[in-house]
Amino acid sequence: MTDAEGYTGVAEGMEPPALVELVNRYFHAMFGAVFGSGGLVLDVKGDGILAIWTNDAPDVALRAQVCRSCLQMVEASDRFNLYIPERRLPTRIGVDFGPIALAKVGAFGRYEYRAVGDTVNTCARLEQLNKLLGTRVLVSQTFAEDVDQFLFRDLGTFVLRGKRAPQRVFELVAARAAATRRQHALCDEFTAALAFYELDERTAALDAFRRLRERYPHDGPTRVYLRRCLEENDAERPMAQLDDAFATALQ
């Protein structure tokens, strides 16, 4: 599932024909990455895309194919934004792997061919979680397992909106062969800081995430966990004071 950040603001004030042309250019860039890797664009909602890749059985090669497509979509979005900088549409992507039903859905003679299942819902929620974490591509643990050709960053466990069971979430960073030293270092250092956090060693986690923030000042997940650590270490302090402490920690 994809979503173009800032679409509502871009659309505001545009004449409908101009907006149609802009959206079609954007979709041309995005669809190419899906079709080029054997995917199917099953649905379009506003600026969002639901794309699927299907197989009769679990297949690591298929998931690697989807990874390549997701990274190509990010690149296509970035190229689009360079071409039309005044109408930027940065793209967020959520990915899950699991069973779906492909069927006609509707009533009273009005039917659409849709993908139905919890897998689709999880994709949508992972896409939305990107906004909180400041990431581009988030995937489920089920999707990331055994896909060794790509570098993933374990971001910990989240309860996705509307769901009861916690979900282990990973960021798709890059193809492993193309990943930079800095990307590898960030993943390794974040994993160490996250381990402190999940062992309830909050002081050590706070120190580790502060060091991460110094080295990677624009990293969204580090910012989120740094705030969590500050709030949990000072649970009795008023929120206004916590906001001040958070701002100081980020300086």
Alpha-carbon gap, residue 144 to 58, rounded angstroms: 12
Query: Domain limits at 144?
Result: 2-179
Residue 230 domain-assigned (yes or no): no
Q: How many domains does the chain have?
A: 1
Residue 51 · residue 39 · CB < 8 Å: yes
Q: What is the pLDDT of residues 138-194, one digit of tens each?
A: 999 999 999 999 999 999 999 998 888 899 999 999 999 999 999 999 999 999 999
pTM value?
0.89
Which residues, at least 6 apart from 194, have a Cβ–Cβ distance to it below 8 Å? Answer: 154, 155, 156, 205, 225
Tens of pLDDT along the chain (251 residues) come to: 999 988 888 888 889 999 999 999 999 999 999 999 899 999 998 889 999 999 887 789 999 999 999 999 999 999 988 877 788 888 999 999 999 999 999 999 898 888 999 999 999 999 999 999 999 999 999 999 999 999 999 999 999 988 888 999 999 999 999 999 999 999 999 999 999 999 999 899 999 999 999 999 999 999 999 999 998 876 545 444 444 444 444 43
Residue 12 · residue 101 · CB < 8 Å: no
Q: What pLDDT shows up at residue 234? A: 66
Residue 97 domain-assigned (yes or no): yes
For 51-71, b/e burial (b = at least 16 CB within 10 A) is bbbeeeeeeeebbbbbbebbb
Looking at residue 137, which CATH number applies to its domain?
Answer: 3.30.70.1230
Q: What pLDDT shows up at residue 235? A: 53
Residue 111 domain-assigned (yes or no): yes
Residue 94 domain-assigned (yes or no): yes
